[in-house]
Amino acid sequence: MTQLEPILAGPTPAPDAEIPAYVRELERAARYLPESQRDTLLDAWRVGAAAHAGQTRKSGEPYITHPVAAATVLAEQGVDVETLIAAILHDTIEDTALTRDDIAARFGDTVAELVEGVTKLDKLEFQSRQEAAAESFRKMMLAMARDLRVILIKLADRLHNMRTLGAQSAEARTRIARETLEIYAPIAQRLGMNLIKAELQDLGFRAMYPRRHAILAKRIRSQPMVRREALANIEARLAQRLTKENLQFRLVSRVKSPWSIYTKMRAEGKSFDQVMDVFGFRLIVPSVPECYHALGVAHSVFKPFDGRFRDFIAIPKANGYQSLHTVLFGPYGSPIEVQIRTEEMDLIAERGIAAHWSYKHGGGAPNSAQNRAQSWVANLIESQRSTGSSLEFLENVKIDLFPDEVYLFTPKGDILALPRNATALDFAYAVHTDVGNRAVAARVDKKLVGLRTRLTSGQNVEIITAKSASPKPQWLEFVVTSKARTAIRHQLKQLEHEDAVQLGHRMLDRALEDLGTSLDRLPQTRLESYLADHRYPRLEAMLADIALGNRMPTQVAQVLAHRVPDKPGIGDTGFDVRRGEKILITGAERGVVTFAQCCMPIPGDDIMGYHTAGRGIVVHRNGCANIAEYRKSPERWVAIGWDREVSGDFGVALRVDVDNRPGVLAQVAAAIAQADSNIDAVEYLDRDKNIAVIRFGIEVGDRTHLADVIRRVRRLSVVHGVQRM
């Protein structure tokens, strides 16, 4: 640390001749800053250069050239001086003797926090490179939640690494390029930073598929003269009409990048000529009213495609992007894509959150890119708290990175952006996790609909909740947002664990009662010793294991009551277990009590339980044909019965013999529905000229409900017989 002390003591201006060209480039890019702040930048370079002294990149250049180049990328985006200083010092805490306190003392706490946020993953042991990368990404997201400028520095760092990727091995180039295309470019797009996104995509494409990139780039450069003439013709006609309307404007043609052409060719199965056969223009005008005026002018010059107009000014994209999009019939039979926006919108479209930097003044407008990005990151952080692993979190973020969107209205008139194909349940979780967990139905444009209903842009959505409601495993089959999926999984795990702990407690208590003791009467030291020996962090974990069938309650009870020495594992205890009082179930025990499909028990049936490893208790009817097999393992039998209050719907199968003629199936289905029962499945078991035998899978509450269903079906004149299967 001693070699840094003179540098850290205070600024020591260097003669102009000693300032290298790469630092001069940073100075030129940061010309928008006051002179005093540019002097502080030079000071940061001196501290960084001293800290990284003797370190080189794989290319052989001094290491300090990399962080200064990252800072130059950010200076071109016009960010504040603290972000630039942090970019220059972003690798010092990890790779040099410089500490966070040193940076805070010299440049302030904000810069120190930014540097700490960007600092790469500590040298931890991971099972795989993939797991390490996912955990590093998770850390970065947490740092972003504290200050969004962290991601600006990380993106600039990645962009310069991509620009200098040639020094890496072929394997490293492919790995870094894939990570860039899958994670960093989409994040830049999600934050509205299109200039950085476009360059990351182009460099990533070139590194992963150098031959494909070279072929496409060459074909784009060598576009035929006919196309260039067509572009000029269209541009001239649009400009002439806009001038006649006294509109001030800037009209530029847009050239597609190799990456956008490649992805479109693959996604839509089109040839290069088909993809290039679309002309693109960007029209920039002074104000919002003039955007709509210019739209009318464009539609008067060339006819618009029906249904291809999008108004992102009235309803901005989730990353703050605003523009009018329209597609016109061109004079050469080719579509013309036109984007119309103001100068400010253009700046936001190119720079995203960097264009709206306003930490010092309390944030921009409510619809600014920065505020929307902050909201997006906050949602990610909320979901990561409930995610099981870094890899799962990373997959969720990939799903969430800037999909096609629908824009929906809450009852209060607020706008929510959700991915295409989002359901009413996704909307509920977007409003709040608690709203999603308690959702039972929705009103879309004042019409009552189910939670799996897919939503379209412009709809007004209201969620109906109930205190007693809770997530169901089937919900995971139709939600599309990562927030909804993560929240549902988390809640289901929590409910299953609570149910498992309660059931395990009852099962162990029953086994201990048979031995003349109880959990409460056991010496605490004995219980703690048993938990420690079997590596249970707490009692709840062992109780859940018992309920799930991974440990036999009779065996645990014998050991805890000191009747036998402890034995590892599960299986036949070798003891004649006295059957005590029944364990009563409500039917709502999630994940630890399942109902056998062979006999389909319902409340009111005489039942028995079979303790199955990993599945908990499987409930059978006492008359089930499979019980004979289970008699071979009596230690796994569980004496169970129905609680007084049983909730939920239970599956049961009916065999119905009917006349084989048109309309009969509908009559039987109607009778079942009139008895307030749902039909899960219908299957013809047998049919001849006169009689058909149909199996109906239905849901009932108990035996009384089933009897009502059978009675109603029997009354039908077309029915010859009904019986439970």
Q: From residue 27, how far is each of 7, 206, 333, 347 by CA, in Å?
A: 20, 30, 49, 22
Q: What are the structure tokens assigned to 403, written together?
A: 């999909």
Catalytic: which of 95, 382, 498, 659?
95
* Euclidean distance between CA atoms 182 and 177, whole angstroms: 9
* Euclidean distance between CA atoms 542 and 535, whole angstroms: 9
Taking the alpha carbons at both ends of the chain, their separation in whole angstroms is: 82
The CATH label, of 3.30.360.10, 3.10.20.30, 3.40.50.620, 3.40.50.300, for the domain at 370-469 is 3.10.20.30
Q: What are the structure tokens assigned to 362, written together?
A: 């309390």
CA nearest neighbour of 185 among 175, 199, 197? 197
Of residues 182 and 286, more confidence is placed in 286
Residues 6+ apart with CB under 8 A from 371: 320, 363, 364, 365
Determine the average pLDDT of the residues in 691-718.
88
Please give the backbone phi and psi of residue 322, each rounded to the nearest 5 degrees, phi first.
-130, 140
Per the CB < 8 A criterion, the answer to whether 335 and 305 are in contact is yes
Q: What is the DSSP letter of 120?
A: P
Q: Could you report the per-residue pLDDT of 2-38, keeping only the tens digit for each?
A: 455 555 555 555 555 478 888 888 888 888 888 888 8
Q: Which regions of 303-460 does DSSP assign to beta strands (E)?
A: 310-311, 324-329, 335-342, 405-409, 415-419, 439-444, 447-449
* Euclidean distance between CA atoms 168 and 583, whole angstroms: 65
Strand (E) or helix (H) holding 663? none
Q: What is the DSSP letter of 309?
A: -
Neighbours of 444 (CB within 10 A): 18
- pLDDT of 625: 79
* Euclidean distance between CA atoms 570 and 550, whole angstroms: 7
Residues 6+ apart with CB under 8 A from 193: 77, 155, 350, 351, 352, 353, 354
* Euclidean distance between CA atoms 296 and 242, whole angstroms: 10
Query: Is residue 95 annotated as part of the catalytic site, yes or no?
Result: yes
Q: Could you report the per-residue pLDDT of 321-330, keeping only the tens digit for each?
A: 788 888 888 7
Strand duo 678-687 + 607-612: pairing: unpaired
Looking at every residue in the chain, the average pLDDT score rounds to 77
Residues 6+ apart with CB under 8 A from 24: none
Please give the backbone phi and psi of residue 339, each rounded to the nearest 5 degrees, phi first.
-110, 130
* Euclidean distance between CA atoms 196 and 350, whole angstroms: 8
Query: Is residue 699 annotated as part of the catalytic site, yes or no?
Result: no
Q: Could you report the per-residue pLDDT of 665-685, keeping only the tens digit for each?
A: 888 888 888 888 888 888 888
Per the CB < 8 A criterion, the answer to whether 56 and 72 are in contact is no
| Fold annotation for 650-724 | Alpha-Beta Plaits (3.30.70)
Determine the average pLDDT of the residues in 148-162.
84
Residues 6+ apart with CB under 8 A from 131: 390, 391
Q: Could you report the per-residue pLDDT of 585-640, keeping only the tens digit for each?
A: 777 666 677 788 888 888 888 888 887 766 677 888 888 877 777 666 776 777 78
Q: What is the DSSP letter of 56?
A: B
Residues 6+ apart with CB under 8 A from 475: 425, 451, 484, 488
Per the CB < 8 A criterion, the answer to whether 190 and 179 are in contact is no
Strand duo 678-687 + 640-642: pairing: unpaired
70-84, 119-133, 381-395 — which one is most confidently predicted on average?
70-84
Determine the average pLDDT of the residues in 640-658.
84
Listed by start position, the domains of the chain span 2-218, 221-355, 370-469, 489-642, 650-724
* Euclidean distance between CA atoms 486 and 476, whole angstroms: 9
> What CATH architecture applies to the domain 221-355?
2-Layer Sandwich (3.30)
Residue 690 — left, alpha, or beta (φ > 0 → left; ψ -120 to 50 → alpha)? alpha
- pLDDT of 387: 54
Global pTM reads 0.53
> What CATH architecture applies to the domain 2-218?
Orthogonal Bundle (1.10)
Per the CB < 8 A criterion, the answer to whether 302 and 329 are in contact is yes
Per the CB < 8 A criterion, the answer to whether 539 and 531 are in contact is yes
In angstroms, how far is CA 533 from the centroid of its own chain? 39
Catalytic: which of 25, 27, 61, 94?
94
Indicate whether 402 pLDDT > 50.
no
CA nearest neighbour of 375 among 425, 414, 323? 414
